[in-house]
Amino acid sequence: MHVSRRLLHSMAWLATLAVVFALISQHFFDMQPCAWCVFQRLLFLLVSLVCWVSLAVSRRGLFWVQRLAGALVAITAIGGVISAAYQYKIASNLFSCDLTFADRFMVESRLDATLPWLFGIFATCADARVNLLGIEYALWALALFALLALGGLWAMFRPAR
């Protein structure tokens, strides 16, 4: 398997596992998500979708799709870095996430109502401020998004031949 294919598979699994871990934290350990938390879940799932769709399409000989996927992953992950940084620096200090971009997007897209077990907003940003191994969840997400952005750039510049 080519480096770019392995990388895209790895990034897809890593992003998916981040969402699985968030769901386990929510449903088994009662760590309720805020609007920014569920918005980041959406971005992680988008990364996974882009990676796996590109791999399926590139099997048909369209290897340039892996380069495009790398770019889309990098852009999505950079958006994730920005959202996690915003959550950590600003939103977690607010009493409410109401009317922030993440809240408006999740509510207006109806994702919170359609898939409440995945995208339901059940906490304020201040209440959702939780540590894992002494580090806030938002910082873990930021680090993972940064890693995915680097992986996306790598896949973009090292496409399958």
Give 118-135 pLDDT, tens digit per residue: 998 888 877 777 777 888
Q: Which amino acid is at 132?
A: L
111 neighbors 42 (Cβ within 8 angstroms) = yes
Predicted pLDDT of residue 105? 92
**Phi-psi region for residue 64, left (φ > 0), alpha (ψ -120 to 50) or beta?**
alpha
Q: Are 121 and 33 in contact (CB under 8 A)?
A: yes
CA dist., res. 7 & res. 15, Å (int): 12
- CA-nearest of 82, 78, 83, 86 to 151 is 78
pLDDT at position 1 is: 46
- Give the mean pLDDT of 75-86: 96
Show me where the domains of the chain are located.
3-157
Which pLDDT does position 61 carry in this prediction?
Answer: 66
C-alpha–C-alpha distance, residues 145 and 132, integer Å:
17
Please report which confidence band the pLDDT of residue 3 belongs to, taking 50, 70 and 90 as the band edges: low
**Cα–Cα distances in angstroms (integers) from residue 139 to residues 35, 69, 71, 103, 136, in the given order:** 16, 25, 23, 20, 5
Is 92 strand, coil or helix?
Answer: helix
- Right CATH for 3-157 from 1.10.287, 1.20.1550, 1.10.357, 1.10.3470: 1.20.1550
pLDDT at 21: 94
**Amino acid 48: pLDDT:** 97
The residues near 58 (Cβ < 8 Å, ≥ 6 apart) are: 5, 65, 66, 160
Q: Average of pLDDT values for 88-106?
A: 82
- 34 to each of 28, 40, 128, how far by Cα in Å? 17, 10, 6
Whether 63 shows a pLDDT value over 60: the answer reads yes
Segment 41-67 shows an average pLDDT of 87
